[in-house]
Amino acid sequence: MGAKLHSMPEIPGKMKERFEAIFGRDYDKFEECCRNDYKKSFRVNTLKISVEDALELLKGNGIITKRIPWTKNGFFTDVKSVGNSFENFMGYIYIQGPASMLPAMVLDPNPGETVLDMCASPGSKTTQIAAMMKNKGVLVANESDYKRIKLLRFNNDKNGVLNSVITNLDGRDFAKSKLRFDKILLDAPCTGEGIVMREWEVIKRWNMKLVIKMCRLQKDLIASAISCLKPGGTLVYSTCTLSPEENEEVIDHALKIGGIELEDIELKGIKTRKGLTSWDRYTYNERVSKCVRVWPQDNGTEGFFVAKLKKV
Amino acid sequence: MEQQFIDYIKDRFGFTKEDFGGLVFIADEKRVYVTTEEVALEENLPGKTHSYGIVAGRIQRDGRTIKPTTNFLQVFGSRAKKNVFDVNDEEKELFIRGTCIETDSELEKGYVIVRWRNHILGCGFLKDGILQSQIPQSRIMKV
């Protein structure tokens, strides 16, 4: 992130109190980070162009890039108008947050597998997964909100995603599905506290009732995801929020359901924190520390939470 | 409609069967999709399926004409053997912004694949010496 400061609405009392409890001594760094200008980032869409060719084209058009250290195909740029570039028009690049690329990387989908993106719109991770699958295998991109399917459809089309089917189901209904998946990404609906620096609307929407409501939905969704995963299959649970209720508590709940194990997550080039094993008056399963927290102030990115589970 | 679309693009652009190996075309009332055989043959897909792969063609109001999409041509257009319209640097800038281009091209009237250098820009419509950009409003580059 650059050093340019911008004005941001005051973080409301309760939210600030919780952030202070999560970040401890790092809270001031978090707030400063939120007020800093952030760098644009994108991912090269390897379904349409090679990384080398894309970089050459971008360079020719005056767009200087710097690789995001923890990705193969992700890049930072200082050019704010990259979203209106020829490369974006062509679907050669996809504008995506640098931490938002992590869940699909942890999922590590392969060509030929059967994969579910349970909450898929707008399609950032769907298109990333399709690229990793090299358009081979079956990718079910589900979106429960019919109005949001249009954007998912738009991005799949623009990015040349051929191996997908878009479904319009409540994620909780996948428990009844006959189809069993090798890999599932549950990038769950959340309060979005980790993107507060980009979308100030998050502050306006935020309240504790919403946190609790999301937590309930997330627990139902993860239960559904576990039930339609093949034995030995991988489930990645992620959010762009910081609340332990929407993160560690959901994973703790999944471990209580049983039949799954938490796996270690190895990420290079990015500073991460362990999952919290206690919060407020609650204590979670110690294995929850295997989850990964990405804090905005550590890497100049959005905040993210990622957990990797394996069905036994 | 699937076969009608396949016949049309073969005839219009010189595509061959091999250009779409391992792929399947599926139509609904408004669109023709192209997806992989693996997806099309999967029997256990959840019931509430919205759409497949990418939209290859849009069925026009007359119910007979199917317009190939820019997204489809960007993926497959490099395999076309005819009715490819090459634009220069200046024309490229106009085309991707949705502007019409005057031309004395001798290509057949109708849909054309618009190419700049080795990049397939998308679908155009050639008529009466004018190349009309068919890039949807949601895709055109802002001025």
* B95 pLDDT higher than 80: yes
Tokens of A117: 């993106």
Question: Domain range holding A207?
Answer: 98-311
d(CA A217, nearest CA chain B) in Å = 21
**Mutating which of A84, A89, A93 best tests the B interface, going by the most B Cβ atoms within 10 A?**
A89
Q: Which residues in chain A have Cβ-Cβ distances shorter than 8 Å to B50?
A: 149, 153, 166-168
Model confidence at A1, in pLDDT bands (50, 70, 90)? very low
Asked if A179 lies within 8 A of B46 by C-beta distance, the reply is: yes
Q: Which amino acid is at A299?
A: N
Is A73 a domain residue? no
The pLDDT score that the predictor gives to residue A310 is 98
Active site residue A190: no
Mean per-residue pLDDT of chain A: 94
Is A3 a domain residue? no
Q: Which residues in chain A have Cβ-Cβ distances shorter than 8 Å to B67?
A: none
Q: For residues A133, A139, A144 and A150, what is the CA-based torsion angle, rounded to 10 degrees?
A: 70
The pLDDT score that the predictor gives to residue A7 is 65
pLDDT digits (tens, 9 = 90+) for A152-163: 999 999 999 999
User: Are A163 and B38 in contact, with CB atoms under 8 Å apart?
Assistant: yes
* A193 pLDDT higher than 60: yes
- In the block, which residue shows the tokens 């192209």? B34
Model confidence at A2, in pLDDT bands (50, 70, 90)? very low
The single residue of A34, A119, A215, A240 carrying the catalytic annotation is A240
Tokens of A14: 């309760």
The pLDDT score that the predictor gives to residue B103 is 94
* Mean pLDDT, range A152-179, rounded to an integer: 95
* A146 pLDDT higher than 70: yes
* Mean pLDDT, range B74-80, rounded to an integer: 97
pLDDT digits (tens, 9 = 90+) for A255-273: 999 999 999 999 999 999 9
Q: What percent of chain A has pLDDT over 70?
A: 97
Model confidence at A38, in pLDDT bands (50, 70, 90)? confident
User: Are A33 and A115 in contact, with CB atoms under 8 Å apart?
Assistant: no
pLDDT digits (tens, 9 = 90+) for B21-70: 999 999 998 999 999 999 999 988 887 788 999 999 999 888 888 999 99
Please, what is the Cα angle at A249 between A246 and A251, to 5 degrees?
A: 95
Is A44 a domain residue? no
Nearest to B48 among A90, A158, A169 (CB): A169
Tokens of B68: 């190939």
pLDDT digits (tens, 9 = 90+) for A40-88: 999 999 999 999 999 999 999 999 999 999 999 999 999 988 999 999 9
* A239 pLDDT higher than 50: yes
Q: What whole-number distance in Å separates Cα of residue A154 and Cα of residue A165?
A: 13
Model confidence at A19, in pLDDT bands (50, 70, 90)? very high
Is A64 a domain residue? no
Half-sphere exposure of A281 (CA within 13 A, CB side): 0
Nearest to A162 among B49, B51, B53 (CB): B53
Q: What whole-number distance in Å separates Cα of residue A18 and Cα of residue A72?
A: 34
* A299 pLDDT higher than 70: yes
- Give chain B's domains with CATH numbers: 1-80 (3.10.450.220), 83-143 (3.10.450.720)
Is A8 a domain residue? no
The pLDDT score that the predictor gives to residue A6 is 59
The pLDDT score that the predictor gives to residue A196 is 84
Number of folded domains that form chain A:
1
Is A14 a domain residue? no
Is A191 a domain residue? yes
Residue A274, domain CATH: 3.40.50.150
Is A70 a domain residue? no
CB pairs under 8 A between A and B: 93
pLDDT digits (tens, 9 = 90+) for A85-95: 999 999 999 99
